[in-house]
Structure 1
Amino acid sequence: MPRSRSLPQLHDRLFLTDGGLETFLIHQQGVALPDFASFHLLDTYEGEALVRDYFRPYAAIARRHGTGLILDTLTWRASADWGALSGLSAADMVRINRRAVALLEELRDEFAPVPVVISGCLGPRGDGYVPGTQMTVRGAEAYHQPQVDALADAGADMLTAMTLNYVEEAVGITHAARLAAMPIAISFTVETNGRLPTGQSLGSAIRIVDAATSGYPSYYMVNCAHPSHFAHLLDPRESWVRRIRGIRANASCRSHAELNDAAGLDTGDPVALAATYAELRQRLPQLTVLGGCCGTDHRHVEAIAAACAPVAA
């Protein structure tokens, strides 16, 4: 069984995450991230300094509002296929994943006494918005197992698979996490109609993953979509809805296709986004993991904390 019972976010205390690291660094800091892969920053002292400076405001927000903090490793695209695009070997990817965890361990020491959970981040093998060529469950398990093992061996507290867009990959990743005896959160993305990019409903996806894995995921999340795309579907009377514990929404109400075609970054309205989070938290008190995704930054997370920490108190 996973070490789920040791995850503090499974209780009542609110835990914040960061915002959209990649979009912030690219559009607001002018940092080049080939293939949207932030793990390249781990190759240089200057890159790691950028990462430290990026996370520090979030620790300050958590300290001010009395929340915990979940730090995700810079490994959303640190799997074999994405590394190969930069000529990196399997051994290189193991090294990168291990260094990503070590960096966050250093930041956890710096951020004390804020409670910090280190989450090893996994992403889809393909495009986060387009399912493309879909793997079988066994294929997904085999593909993701090396990264899962590297993050587990490095000492991550848990894993989070983000921006997943079809069920077989989610099930395969969950099987890989089970083999590594690691707690895992599964986070799906949805389109403006609240359905996965495959057209499958969010509820169906969660139920299928739970059925195929004996309910192994510690919890589920929704990320890389605006709450207006899915909030209306979250009926607290539904058992699958009660499995959702985290939201990392986009700042923008635009569709994935519109965001891909946009010339600039749409940062939306932080206060309005936070109000939506607070309404969801009132309706779904199990939502204890709140943060942002594309287009969000520390301003959005500050607003979310201000709106939701009193709800959690």
Structure 2
Amino acid sequence: MSKYRNRLPQLAGDLFLTDGGIETTLIFHDGFDLPHFAAFDLLNSREGVAALRAYYERYASIAQAHRLGFILESPTWRASPDWAARLGYDDAALEAANRRSIALMAELRGVHETDAAPIVISGCVGPRGDGYDPGRMMTADEAEDYHSAQVRTFAATDADMVTAITMTYPAEGAGIARAAKAAGLPVAISFTVETDGRLPTGATIADAIETVDAETGAAPAYYMLNCAHPEHFRDVLAGGEGWAARLRGIRANASRRSHAELDQAPDLDDGDPEELGRDYAALRAILPNLTILGGCCGTDHRHVTRIAAACNHGRGAKAAA
């Protein structure tokens, strides 16, 4: 069962890494066809499982090299009912896929965790709609109902927590937070940010965090931001009040392109890993509780390596391959 569910080590103030853009890495670097960006579907083949294992092991090695904690985010961003149905999964097959995903994470933790580099297993929950465009928006009650099955499945596994990634509007984040609270799982909510530093719906980051906290009794353990270059939201965070202290994680893009430009681009814009590392170090000077560092669309192990080097302040780290 869960190792850290009642005591998430990333809340103690030490740095934790997480991975980069798993779907873009698997598609553009590893050559996989991922219908609907569903990485969990790779669990159905030996080749796919091997690719997932290799993907996560590379990041776990970076964390070990820098003596940092690591959050294993399961490949289940698309493993919810609507998306899974498009891939031919019924409810039983979907539950089995979510369970297998966490089992793989537990296997990897068993191999790679050390005293200096604790590993937290997070069950990744994605949006019902697109990660850039909410489409039809749900109420918090509807979102809780929709996401509860996946969250309950995670609660019966070795998952230590749930992380809702690429949330485009507050109500869906609130619904997932309620589902996690009901299942007894800690939860983090990560919001997609546009080039203007706001959510795709136009809500400010402050409004999003404060709304979810108000509607859930501050259920999330912390909040994160994803899918934008640091320059798109850095100025919004400067001088932030109480809501800024709730931000503990960043999964930024290395690309400065807008979401519309990224959607239409035939190539992968992976930006400058060295520059991104410096940007993260600058963000840590703004956000007092920023300790969870990873990447989003177009980022890979190179970016996370540079982020770790820039933010680790010389804790005996050695260069990671």
From 197, 200, 203, the counterpart of 2:200: 197
- Counterpart CA distance in 1 for 2:31 and 2:110 is 29
2:264 maps to which residue?
261
Q: In the TM superposition, what are the counterparts of 1:265-284 in structure 2 within 5 Å?
A: 265-284=268-287
Checking the alignment, whether the CA contact within 8 Å between 1:12 and 1:312 is kept in structure 2 is: no
**Taking structure 1 as reference, are residues 157 and 236 closer, same or farther at Cα in structure 2, changes over 3 Å only?**
farther
> Is 1:251 the counterpart of 2:254 in the alignment?
yes
Map of 2:46 onto structure 1 = 45
Contact 1:4 1:218 in 2 (8 A): no
> Structure 1: where are the runs of 5+ without partners?
none
Name the CA shift for 1:154/1:5 in 2 (closer, same or farther; >3 Å).
Answer: closer
Count the aligned residue pairs: 311
1:90 partner letter: D
Tell me the equivalent position of 2:85.
84
Task: Confirm or deny: 8 A CA contact 1:16 1:68 kept in the other structure.
Answer: yes
1:239 aligns with 2:242: yes
Query: Partners of 1:311 and 1:85 in 2: how far apart?
Result: 47
Matched, 1:100 2:93: no
1:225-236 equivalences in 2 (<5 Å): 225-236=228-239
- The alignment partner of 1:200 has SS state of coil
SS of equivalent residue, structure 1 residue 31: coil
Which residue number in structure 1 is paired with residue 319 of structure 2? none
2-side partners of 1:269 and 1:199: how far apart?
28
CA contact (8 A) 2:245 2:288 kept: no
What secondary structure sits across from 1:125 in the alignment? coil
CA distance in 2, matches of 1:111, 1:236: 39
1:65 maps onto 2:66 in alignment: yes
Does residue 176 of structure 1 match 2:179? Answer: yes
Instruction: Quote the Cα distance in structure 2 between the aligned partners of 1:211 and 1:168.
Output: 11
- Cα separation, 2, equivalents of 1:14 and 1:39: 27
- RMSD after superposition: 1.3
How many angstroms apart in 2 are the aligned matches of 1:263 and 1:308? 32
Matching residue's letter, 2:311: C
**What TM-score do you get using the length of structure 1 for normalisation?**
0.97
- The 1:46/1:150 distance shift into structure 2, 3 A limit, reads same
Question: Runs in 1 of length 4+ with deviation above 3 angstroms?
Answer: none
Shift of 1:13: 1.0
1:309 aligns with 2:312: yes
Q: Which amino acid aligns with 1:62?
A: A
* Kept in 2: contact 1:12–1:288 (CA 8 A): yes
2:166 aligns with 163
Deviations 1:241-265 (A, max 9, x none): 1100000001101110000011100
The alignment's TM-score, normalised by the length of structure 2, stands at 0.94
Distance (Å, rounded) in 2 between the aligned partners of 1:98 and 1:301: 27
Q: 2:292 aligns with which of 285, 289, 292?
A: 289
Q: Distance in 1 between matches of 2:16 and 2:46?
A: 29
Q: Which of these residues, 215, 219, 228, is aligned with residue 216 of structure 1?
A: 219
Gaps of 5+ in 2: 317-321
SS at match of 2:248: strand
The Cα of 1:59 is off from its aligned counterpart by: 1.4
Deviation at residue 5 of structure 1 after TM alignment? 5.3
Deviates more, 1:300-309 or 1:57-66: 57-66
Cα distance in 2 for residues equivalent to 1:213 and 1:311: 39
Q: Structure 1 residue 4: deviation in Å?
A: 6.5
What secondary structure sits across from 1:266 in the alignment? coil
2-structure distance, mates of 1:32, 1:151: 26
- Structure 1 residue matching 2:313: 3-state secondary structure: helix
Partner Cα distance (1:21, 1:128) in 2 = 14
2:57 alignment counterpart: 56
- Between the aligned residues of both structures, percent identity stands at 56
User: Displacement, 1:285?
Assistant: 3.3
Cα distance, 1:311 vs structure 2: 7.5
Give 1:155 deviation, angstroms. Answer: 2.1
Q: Distance in 1 between matches of 2:271 and 2:252?
A: 11
- Given that residues 19 and 301 in structure 1 are in contact (C-alpha distance below 8 angstroms), is that contact kept between their aligned partners in structure 2? yes
Output one character per residue of 1:129-163: Cα deviation in whole Å (capped at 9) or x when no partner: 11111111111110000000011111200000000
Mark the CA change 1:236 to 1:155 in structure 2 (over 3 Å): closer, same or farther: farther
